[in-house]
Structure 1
Amino acid sequence: MRIAAVRGDITEQEVDAVVNAANSSLLGGGGVDGAIHRRGGPEILEACRELRSTRYPDGLGVGQAVATTAGKLPARWVIHTVGPTFTPSEDRSELLAACFRESLKVADTLGASTVAFPAVSTGVYRYPLAEAAEIAVRSARDTPTNVENVRFVLFDTESYEAFTAAVQHSE
C-alpha cells in the first residue's frame, strides 16, 4: 500500500472514497464534516438520514465507520467515521486507530482502491496533532486491506507537516 500526505482540500480529491470526520449524528457539522456535506450536496445528508432511521437510530459510535454516496464530490463514496474527543485523563488512542481500521474495512467492502483521509479528531475534538498523525499512519499501514493508495489530505501547514513526518517515520 502506498501512503502519502498531501496539502489540499479533501472535498476536491478524485479518489474512490473520501473519509469524513463525522459526528455521531451523521447529520453534518463543522470542519471537514460540514465541508463534505456542503460540497457533496443534499444526497449525502439524505443517505445519512436513512442510516439514522434504520441501522443507526442512536447515531454512529466512536471508532465505527459507514459509507454513503458521495453526492457531487469527485469521489464515489463517503466513509463516515466518528473520532474520539481527546482527554489527557484517558488513553483513547485505540478508538482513534479504530477509525482508520474500520474505514479501510468499509473501503474493502466497497471495492475502493484509493482512499483520502482527513486528520480525524484533531480539530474540535482536540487530539494532539503529532500523536494523531502517528496513530493514523500506523493504523493504515498495519490494517490488512485491498486499498492500494491511502492519502492523508491536510488543509493547513501544521497538519501537513505532522502527517508528512509520520509517513516518513513509518517507512
Structure 2
Amino acid sequence: MVTLTAVRGDITTQEVDAVVNAANSAMRGGGGVDGAIHRAGGPAVLEACIERFPDGLATGDAGWTTAGDMPARWVIHTVGPNHSAGQTDRSLLTSCYRRSLEVADELGARSVAFPLISAGVYGWPMDDAIAAAVETIRRADTRVEDARIVAFDEATFDQLSHRLA
C-alpha cells in the first residue's frame, strides 16, 4: 500500500525515483511546474520529450523521460485538463494520477513526487484538485511505496496536510 504524504518545497529537488511534471500537450516545456522541471533538468529533458513525444501527449495520459540534472531518475510527464479553457471533466484529472502511477510501475519506481496537477495556471479549483489527487493515489493499485504531493507554498501545504490528516 502506498504511503501518501504532503511536502512543502520545490518538486525539482525531491530525492525520489520519479517526479511528475504537470506538462502541456505539446511536451516542449512551459510555465509553472513544467518550466521549473525543464530548467532544473536541463536540455536532456527537452531532448527526450522531442524524441519520445514528437506529436505531444493527450490530456489525461502520461509518459516518461530522463530527469536530466535533477536528483530524481525519471520525469513522468502528464497533461492535466485546462479547467480555465473549459476542460472540466474530472476523470481526465484523475487519469493523470492513475496513468502516472502506471508509468511509475512500468519503470520500477518506488518513490514518486507529484505536483497538484491542473491546480495552477490551468485553474482547477484547489479543494477539488487536492481531493482528486488524494483519492486517486490512495485507491491506486500500485507498487509505488512512497508518494508525496509537493506544495510550493504554505497555504497549499496546509490544505494538503489537513486533507491527509
Specify if TM > 0.5: yes
Report Cα offsets for 1:76-108 as digits up to 9, x if no partner.
Answer: 000000001115977421111000000000000
What's the offset of the Cα at 1:128?
0.8
- Taking the TM superposition and a 5 Å limit, the aligned residue runs for 1:154-169 are 154-168=151-165
Any unmatched runs of 5+ in structure 1?
Answer: none
* Percent identity of equivalent pairs: 54
Deviation of the 1:51 alpha carbon: 1.7
Instruction: Kindly provide the amino acid, as one letter, of the partner of residue 116 in structure 1.
Output: A
Which residue is equivalent to 1:146?
Answer: 143
Aligned CA distance change for structure 1 residues 111 and 90 (closer, same or farther; 3 Å): closer
Name the structure 1 match of 2:39.
38
The alignment's TM-score, normalised by the length of structure 1, stands at 0.92
Q: 1:91 to 1:29 in 2, by over 3 A?
A: closer
Q: Which residue of 2 aligns with 1:98?
A: 95
After the TM superposition, which parts of structure 1 deviate over 4 Å for at least 4 consecutive aligned residues? 87-91
Residue among 130, 133, 150 paired with 1:136: 133
- 1:96-150 CA deviation, whole Å, 9 max, x = no partner? 1000000000000000000000011011100011110010010001110000010
SS at match of 1:119: coil
Aligned-residue Cα RMSD (Å) equals: 1.4
Q: List runs of 5+ in structure 2 lacking aligned partners.
A: none
SS across alignment from 1:38: helix
